[in-house]
Chains A and B, each alone.
Chain A
């Protein structure tokens, strides 16, 4: 419960963080809210040589209405996303998901960018953002690039981020007035999702994203296809676990996760008016 020795660098702006990453490369790990990294370090499952603390880089903490696109700084805390008037107006699914992360202490420390970059497949924020069709602005020495939420995570706790790149902004196309649904199954209120399902309608289309049904957050492709061809909620939801490979752990078996994905998808679709 005591981390292995590490060096600590405080970076109070994007530029300072970029400089630190440039110097230490893959020896370094970024510390934002610390709600995922610090427990891993205390258990010595993560042993970075250098911790670059960006939690005071307030130039990366904001929510802006960017003309039909919601721009959210990576270091914006969950609690600020949950109660932001802009997020509530343009992406109520995200506001709801941010309000259901962990417990109040976690929501007041943890950041949405940290959650996305940590790429835990059971996390609320990347699941909601996947259903919302968000994209992630990544900046590094080679310039700035925008990666779609669908392409961002490449495996369990793995992403397309290079060691010297930072996730700086989350961009969410406005879904003002559109129906949505979010169903999260947990043993206890504070737990990560055993399974969660985010549904976002947009125009005539419905996106369905699944948490903890594989090594990354996933789209329920077969359900989305069934909906596109006119299936009702119950029929479409019966396909929710198709193509997924959920894990078995102390919380649930893979079989039960598949069952939950189907039940929760149906409920989320019904909540979204399907």
Chain B
């Protein structure tokens, strides 16, 4: 019987739960002995001209260096994070006369001791000559104050699809709403950290750099490019990584600088940021201002939809500037809408850069259309589930290409909606809601629904590397180019190899995160790992079996075609002669007595995949205080066949929790001068288990035709489905009072004000 689909407990967990992982800050590699400790002096103003004087700090005992932009004048600026970001909007190594957000590194201090760094940082003199801070992206879009005069505009990128001409002609009903998809913080448990050492001299010098990243090979290439090195001269290692959520894809300028400082000072270097630095500087997610307009007929058919996105990219455009492209690609969601138009613009502001964050552009698309559909349903007085049913793409329509150009591989959106509605006992919830409203209960019930589809391992068809090494002792090492940081690849990928090789998972080790050990790889992000990296392991295992049958054929003096693998016994025999079995150890040793059998492979998918699902959220709203309490979440998250339910449930739980967090709690706020208001976890309302109910997860598995496992990504689904379901539930709870929309996070005060405003409006 196949191990796939069974509840194998995660092999990585005993370590994490007992002795703990080894994160960058825990490294005790002897090569790091005597390392200098780097502390960054960060801007306390959002937009200003700065002059820096580090001489007083540099003169102190224990200070190895105080480095400013002037000391790095010989270096070309680091490359922009993505090729299509205009180079004029690139960031300097350290602030180059102007700071553009609070938290921007101005100087790097290197001290003998970690503890001295912050004391010395206080002695670096920075003179600020304030410039107008541009915090609101709507103000930025006017170009009145240019953040980068050389670029001539505050707009970094713009995308569009569809025509606005006559878009809503013939609609009985048209509803429009401005929606803020607020800026949130990724908050990985492990903050950023880096350590590095150079070995060898001159052209032979080689850098070993450890950093907390999701993409070691990409990060290695980033460093090589920034330092004008051959990639072979960089050995990049991602040790255990305590969460990334998209924000740790690649490395940041603070990481890159360590390599420079280490080279110049001739010492190993270490840097670990503080939580406040992480909240200020790692980057934030979402940050879109949206205008949705939806039109259709009174009987519930949606015929036209437009989405306008103003993306706040923050000070130096990063992934965030590109996210509207993904929002545009997923704009139509699960709905077959005849006419659709999307306009997006990404502008710079004097705030921290916006980066990829769990979902990265797709949650924003889903939030927009799911609020729009609910408002349309409210306008025509139809149940939101019924309106959705009348507009979903039909199961028979797949594969299909949407009006905005997304090639959906497979799906059954009505099936997912029907399942979740049944599991949540939707009709009973509606009856209970009515009972409470009729009785004048101040604890109002709200029921929110979302239907979603997203794109994983896209937008282009992806590729990933795997190596299968069967050792002469019969054990197996699987090398993958993905880079797990909580996802459980050590378990899932071992299961995939075990399933084809007939080797128990206890004898399989998964290696990742080290560019000297793994030839190439795309890292982990965008929910790509299983469908690309897992498929590569699967493909590599099949190729390994083929190769082993040839080797066994030589041992048996038989044709490879006559040799079969008996997975139950973990060995090979000639068809018809099951008694003479040659085990994996013997066969692998026959390939190479020292290294065993090694097979490298690259899997290339036929295209991106489109997981989908539907969520039902139930909230209770205290009509007197506005406080929202989440009572239940019931979800269908269909990402195709499940390799390990334990791992998939964990991904769904975490995603749902983060999706709920955006709907109810979290918001990164800046004041009008660009001063951050939420730089620690007391001010930033990051929820805990105490704020969350148990989640009811409903199974559904619709295979993708685009990879041999039929799998899609599950890592981001929860954040995509949960946020609009919860927001819709909050609005639904108070809809009978005349409330049409409540912005996220739907805090008590916002809900209370919405109720007050509706009462005022009704007078």
Binding site for B on A (CB under 8 A): 1-2, 4-5, 39, 43-44, 185, 187-192, 250, 252-253, 256, 259-260, 263
Contacts and interface: CB of A to CB of B under 8 A. Distances in A.
B688 A188 contact: yes
Given A1-B274, A43-B276, A187 B685 contact: yes
Interface in B711-763: 747-749, 752-753
A47 B114 CA distance: 19
Q: Is the interface of A mostly helix, strand, loop or mixed?
A: loop
A103 to B, nearest CB: 8
B752 A259 contact: yes
B115 interface: yes
Q: What are the 8 tightest A-B residue pairs by CB atom distance, in nearest-first order?
A: A1-B274, A189-B690, A256-B749, A2-B118, A263-B624, A187-B685, A250-B677, A250-B683
Contact of A188 (B275, B625, B680, B690): B690
Interface string B664-699: 010001000000011010110101101100000000
19 contacts: A1-B274, A2-B117, A2-B118, A39-B682, A187-B685, A187-B747, A187-B748, A188-B687, A188-B688, A190-B688, A190-B690, A192-B682, A250-B669, A250-B678, A252-B749, A256-B748, A256-B752, A259-B752, A263-B625
Nearest to A256: B749
Contacts of A188: 665, 685, 687-688, 690-691
A262 to B, nearest CB: 9
Given A252-B749, A256-B752, A185 B627 contact: yes
A158 to B, nearest CB: 21
Interface in B103-146: 114-115, 117-119
Given A4-B118, A250-B677, 6 more contacts: A1-B274, A2-B118, A5-B119, A188-B665, A256-B753, A263-B624
A39 B115 CA distance: 16
Given A188-B665, A188-B685, A2 B749 contact: no
B691 A189 contact: yes
Interface residues of B, number: 28
A4 B683 CA distance: 22
Nearest to A257: B749
Contact of A189 (B624, B680, B688): B688
Contacts of A2: 114-115, 117-118, 274
Contact of B665 (A39, A187, A259): A187
Nearest to B679: A43
A256 B747 CA distance: 11
A59 to B, nearest CB: 33
A261 B624 CA distance: 11
B119 A4 contact: yes
A192 B687 CA distance: 14
Nearest to B272: A1
A263 B624 CA distance: 7
Interface string B269-288: 00000111000000000000
A256 B685 CA distance: 18
A1 B685 contact: no
A260 B622 CA distance: 12
Contacts of A4: 118-119
B38 to A, nearest CB: 14
A39 B627 CA distance: 28
Nearest to B667: A250
A164 to B, nearest CB: 29
B114 to A, nearest CB: 8
B669 A185 contact: no
Contacts of A190: 688, 690
A41 to B, nearest CB: 12
B686 to A, nearest CB: 8
B23 to A, nearest CB: 16
A111 to B, nearest CB: 20
A185 B687 contact: no
A192 B681 CA distance: 12
Contacts of A39: 682
A191 B669 CA distance: 18
B625 A185 contact: yes
A253 B688 contact: no
A259 B626 CA distance: 11
A63 to B, nearest CB: 28
Nearest to A1: B274
Nearest to A266: B624
B690 to A, nearest CB: 4
Contacts of A263: 624-625
Interface in B275-314: 275-276
Nearest to A42: B274
Interface in B451-493: none
B109 to A, nearest CB: 13
Contacts of B678: 250
A237 to B, nearest CB: 11
A190 B627 CA distance: 16
A247 B108 CA distance: 37
B749 A253 contact: yes
Nearest to A190: B688
A192 B624 CA distance: 20
Contacts of A5: 119
Contact of A1 (B275, B677, B749): B275
Nearest to A187: B685
A107 to B, nearest CB: 14
A145 B668 CA distance: 47
Nearest to B691: A188
Most chain A CB inside 10 Å of its own CB: which residue of B276, B683, B748:
B748
A92 B747 CA distance: 31
A167 to B, nearest CB: 25
B276 A1 contact: yes
A187 B669 CA distance: 16
A188 B747 CA distance: 11
B314 to A, nearest CB: 20
B433 to A, nearest CB: 23
Nearest to A189: B690
Contacts of A253: 749
